[in-house]
């Protein structure tokens, strides 16, 4: 499936670096990261998607929260 996602510049740069370091496309890297996060939550009650009342956007909950700094450290370690 093809979709368009707006990603902040700093996160986009990290994704590009991570994809290159893994020898993957951006799409494959984003998919792998989402799969890794989903796999970290064992409890289906904590892993859910809900519609935000204010924005109307879907919000996924569950899995670890990572800051841009966390992602940068992970990318540097890889």
3-state class of 68 per DSSP? helix
Kindly provide the b/e burial profile for residues 37-50, where b requires at least 16 CB atoms within 10 angstroms of the residue's own CB. beeebeeeeebeee
pLDDT digits (tens, 9 = 90+) for 54-68: 887 777 776 667 788
pLDDT tens for 1-32 read 788 888 889 889 999 999 999 999 999 999 98
Q: Which has more pLDDT, 73 or 46?
A: 73
User: Binning pLDDT at 50, 70 and 90, where does residue 44 land?
Assistant: low
Predicted confidence at residue 29, as pLDDT, reads 92
> What values do phi and psi take at 67, rounded to 5?
-85, 170
Integer-rounded Cα radius of gyration of the chain: 14
Predicted TM-score (pTM) of the model is: 0.53
């Amino acid at each position: 499936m093809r979709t368009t996602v707006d990603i902040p510049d700093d996160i986009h740069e990290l994704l590009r670096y991570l994809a290159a370091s893994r020898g993957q496309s951006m799409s494959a890297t984003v998919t792998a990261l989402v799969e890794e996060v989903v796999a970290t939550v064992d409890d289906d009650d904590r892993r859910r998607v809900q519609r935000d009342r204010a924005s109307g956007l879907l919000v996924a909950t569950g899995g670890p929260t990572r800051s841009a700094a966390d992602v940068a450290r992970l990318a540097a370690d890889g």
